[in-house]
Amino acid sequence: MKPDIKSQTLEELQAQLKTLNQPAYRARQVTEWLYPLRAVSWEAMTNLPRVLREKLAETFGLETLELVTKQGSRDTTQKFLWRLADGSMIESVLIPANPALYGEASDRHTLCVSTQVGCAYGCRFCASGLEGWKRNLLPHEIVEQVIAVERWNAEQPGPMSAERVINNLVIMGMGEPLANYDNLLKALKILNAPWGGGIGARKITISTSGLAPQIRKLADDPLQFRLAISLHGATDEVRNRIMPVNKKYPLRELAAACEYYQEKKSRMITLEYILIAGVNDALDQVKPLAELAKRLYAKVNLIPYNKVEDLPWERPVEEVQEAFASALTNRGVTATLRREKGHDIDAACGQLRLKTERKLAAAPV
C-alpha cells in the first residue's frame, strides 16, 4: 500500500522530491496545498507541473475522511462520524470554548480526535472499548480529522467560515493514544508544525488511561504537550474495579511516571475523574485524590458520568457531585466540576460509532 502524503513530514517530502529532481521549494508548495488550502485531489494543485502531480499520485495516497453523520448544531458541540478508507468508523468532536449561551457564535474551538478504531483497554464504563480493538490509526488518519473539520467549516455559510476554527486539540476520542505512540507522535508533529496544522504543542492535550512506560517516553519528547490522566479512582481498589489497565500499571507506578512527567514539563498534568454513582463518588476517595493532585501539582477535572446504553453505570445526583468537588477544594486542590457539553448528542467517546454500527448491523441488507 502507498503511504499517504499527510503521513509525511516536510523533511521526508523534501527528501522524496529531491529523488525526483525537483527544486527545493516544491515541498513547501505541496504542504501549502495540503494544510492551509486543504486540497482533496492532486489535480487541484495547479502550480505543480502535471508530470509531478502524476508522479506524486503514483507514490502517495491522498485520503480524505468521508462524513457519515454529524450531530449537533453550529454553535454547540458537534460530533462527526467518519468512514475511513477500509470502511472502519471513527469520531471527532468539535467543542466551542464558550458555549454560545447568549446566541453569539463562539470562535474558539477544541477538537477531540480519535487515535484507534475501538480500544483494547476495556474500561468498564466506556463505550469505545465495548466491541474491542480493531486497529491503530495511521498518522494521516489522525491529521485528517483536523483538516476535514476545517474543510467542513469552510464550506458552511457565515462569517466563521473564513477563519480556522480549531485552536485546541484534545486526544480524547476513541482509543488509547499512548498505545499508538509512534503514529500519534508523528501526527502531532505534523499538526504542530508551522508548515502543517500550526497548533501549538501547549494547546494539545494527550489523555491516557495510565500507560506508565509511555508516559515516561512522552516526558522525554522535546515537545511540550499537556497530559491528562484518566484516573477515575484514587485507590487501587477502586481503579482495579473499573480500569483493567490498573492491574498492569498500579497507582504507585502510574504516579511515579506522572511525577517524572511533571518534573520534566512542570504543571502540565490534569487528573480526569469521572463521577460514577456508588463506584468512585464516596468521600473516602477525596483524601488520596487530593494527595496525588498536590504531589503532581495537577488540577482535577470532575466529570459527571455520561450514561452509555447497555452499561449499568449512572452519574451521581448533583448534590453528591458538588459535595465531592467542594471536599477537594477544601483540601486546597484546584478542581472543576464540568457541566459537560454534548450530553444530549452522545459526546462521550465511542457512543455515536457504537449506535451507528448497531443500526447498520440491524438494517436489512
d(CA 274, CA 305): 6
Of the ranges 47-55, 132-140, 287-295, 298-306, which one interacts with ligand SAH (CB under 6 A)?
298-306
Identify the residue among 272, 293, 325, 352 touching ligand SAH (CB under 6 A): 272
DSSP state of 76: S
Whichever of 165 and 349 has its CB closer to ligand SF4, that residue is 349
H or E stretch at 166: strand 166-171
Whichever of 30 and 227 has its CB closer to ligand SAH, that residue is 227
CB of 91 to ligand SF4, least distance (A): 11
Identify the residue among 230, 246, 262, 280 touching ligand SAH (CB under 6 A): 230
DSSP state of 354: H
Ranges within 101-160 binding ligand SAH (CB under 6 A):
125-126
Q: List, in sequence order, every residue forming a beta bridge with 110; answer none if it has no partner.
A: 95, 168
Of the ranges 30-38, 69-77, 161-169, 205-213, which one interacts with ligand SAH (CB under 6 A)?
205-213
Out of ligand SAH, ligand SF4, none, what residue 306 binds, judged by CB under 5 to 8 A for its kind, is: ligand SAH
Which among 65, 112, 76 has a CA at the least distance from the CA of 92? 112
Ranges within 57-86 binding ligand SAH (CB under 6 A):
none
**205 contact partners, CB below 8 Å, separation of at least 6:** 168, 169, 170, 171, 172, 225, 226, 227, 228, 270
Write the binding mask 159 to 178 for ligand SAH: x where contact by CB under 6 A, - elsewhere: -------------x---xx-
d(CA 224, CA 205): 10
Distance of CA 335 to the CA centre of its chain: 22
Q: Which residues are catalytic?
A: 91, 349
Ranges within 345-364 binding ligand SAH (CB under 6 A):
348-349
Instruction: Examine residue 207 and tell whether it contacts ligand SAH (CB under 6 A).
Output: yes
CB of 299 to ligand SAH, least distance (A): 14
Whichever of 39 and 126 has its CB closer to ligand SF4, that residue is 126
Out of ligand SAH, ligand SF4, none, what residue 77 binds, judged by CB under 5 to 8 A for its kind, is: none
Of the ranges 45-53, 63-71, 152-160, 299-307, which one interacts with ligand SAH (CB under 6 A)?
299-307
Identify the residue among 138, 257, 274, 345 touching ligand SAH (CB under 6 A): 274
Binding site for ligand SF4 (CB under 6 A): 119, 121-123, 126, 128-129, 175-176, 209, 230, 349
Which among 203, 120, 212, 108 has a CA at the least distance from the CA of 164? 108
Cell of 316: 451521581
Which among 255, 283, 285, 287 has a CA at the least distance from the CA of 269? 255
Backbone angles phi, psi at 78, to 5 degrees: -125, 135
CA angle 341, 96, 166 (to 5 degrees): 135
Distance of CA 156 to the CA centre of its chain: 24
Out of ligand SF4, ligand SAH, none, what residue 122 binds, judged by CB under 5 to 8 A for its kind, is: ligand SF4
Annotate 201-257 with DSSP letters as a single string: GGGEEEEES--HHHHHHHHTSSS--EEEEE---SSHHHHHHH-THHHHS-HHHHHHH
Instruction: Please give the span between the terminal C-alpha atoms of the chain, in angstroms, as a whole number.
Output: 30
CB of 125 to ligand SAH, least distance (A): 5
Whichever of 8 and 209 has its CB closer to ligand SAH, that residue is 209
Interface contacts to ligand SAH, rule CB under 6 A: 125-126, 172, 176-177, 207-209, 230, 272, 274, 303, 305-306, 308, 348-349
